[in-house]
Amino acid sequence: MIGWNNDLPEGFDPMTAKELRQSLRRGSFVYPFLGIQFLAVCAMVAEFQTGYASVQSEYTGMLNPWLLWSSGPFWMVVSAICLFILPLSGVILMGQELEEGNHELLLLTKLNRWGVVLGKFITLWGLSALTFISLLPYVVVRYMIGGIEWWHEASCGATILGGSAMISAGALGASAFRGSGWRMAVLLLFLASMIAGAATPLFGAAMLNKSCGWHYHLTAIVAVICYSAMGLALARSRLRLAVMAYEVKPSGIVLGLLVFSPFVIGMVTAVTLGWGGFIGLLAMAVVSIRMDITPKAPKWLPPPPPNIPVEAA
């Protein structure tokens, strides 16, 4: 008889496996995971008792926060846990590696800076997604009994998953700064940039057809990619082992990008009359990924000769 292998699959990279083992035992995941099941049942029963019906709208689409707050107690509970509590718990993740100097040891292995950051992000966002997936039976029950439209429920779910990805990346980037004051300031800057940068092209796309069509959802998906990349680039920029005296700190450049991105995205949206907002978002995502590149020597360049001292005869 083959025994159960109580371990993660070998396909996981080392950083993701390390973070998953720690996070699944952490109280910041276990207690909200258990609590949301109880709160979801209570919220669903309250909806059935009061006869609450979600408000219908022509603008039913991804990243529309109005849907969550107008869809009853159930989605309010899901938003509080999966969109805020679990993602914002990531404000402590990068600090554990930087304050103790563990990042220097990690970068001496086969892991690069993207590997360290992506491993933590996949774990943080994955726990939010796992918690949300555990609530899908309640969504099905609400749909079967409550007479709720499936597209409305799917849009709320996509908003939860997309919003948690962006907020998780922002919390991870803020956690790379020292001190609670700096972390809070950077997190607020990221959230303000995210709201302003994503709202303008989404509003323009929705106003074009007076509904949330394929163009709106394309813009929403690119917005999630853009600000997830910015948050990860901010966390990655703090893992530089050394910066030359004449170089600008890469984290300062990424913070400047957060400030100017809403203006650039808004300008592209205005010039294209609402059609090209996703182009501005995609451009900012590419810039955030490429602006802090680790210098590498070409493969054809031979390594320097070893500097071995020779004893005098």
How confident is the model over 186-242, as pLDDT tens digits? 999 999 999 999 999 999 988 887 888 888 999 999 999 999 999 999 998 888 766
Look at the block and give the residue holding tokens 């219908």: 56
The residue among 169, 196, 161 whose CA lies nearest residue 63 is 161
Among 106-115, 168-177, 286-295, top mean pLDDT goes to 168-177
String of DSSP letters for 185-197:
HHHHHHHHHHHHH
Considering only residues 147 and 77, tell me which one the structure prediction assigns the higher pLDDT.
77
Query: Strand, helix or coil at 215?
Result: helix
The share of the chain scoring above pLDDT 70, in percent, equals: 77
Structure tokens at 244: 């030359």
The residue among 90, 109, 74 whose CA lies nearest residue 172 is 90
Considering only residues 121 and 3, tell me which one the structure prediction assigns the higher pLDDT.
121
Given a cut of 90, whether residue 280 has pLDDT beyond it is yes
The values of phi and psi at residue 254, to 5°, are -65, -40
> Which residues are within 8 A (CB) of 305 and not within 5 positions of it... i.e. 6 or more apart?
none
The residue among 116, 40, 47, 125 whose CA lies nearest residue 89 is 125
Tell me the pTM. 0.83
**Please, are residues 309 and 302 in contact by the beta-carbon 8 Å criterion?**
no
Given a cut of 60, whether residue 4 has pLDDT beyond it is no
- List the alpha helices (DSSP H) in 210-310: 214-237, 250-271, 277-290
Given a cut of 60, whether residue 129 has pLDDT beyond it is yes
Considering only residues 274 and 109, tell me which one the structure prediction assigns the higher pLDDT.
274
> Which residues are within 8 A (CB) of 294 and not within 5 positions of it... i.e. 6 or more apart?
112, 113
Given a cut of 90, whether residue 76 has pLDDT beyond it is no
| CA–CA dist 169, 150 (Å, integer) | 29
* Conformational region of residue 148, where left means phi above 0, alpha means psi within -120 to 50, and beta covers everything else: beta
Given a cut of 70, whether residue 156 has pLDDT beyond it is yes
The share of the chain scoring above pLDDT 90, in percent, equals: 28
Of 14-28, 157-171, 276-290, the one with minimum mean pLDDT is 14-28
Structure tokens at 167: 């907020």
| CA–CA dist 189, 185 (Å, integer) | 6
Residue 3 confidence class, pLDDT cut points 50, 70, 90? very low
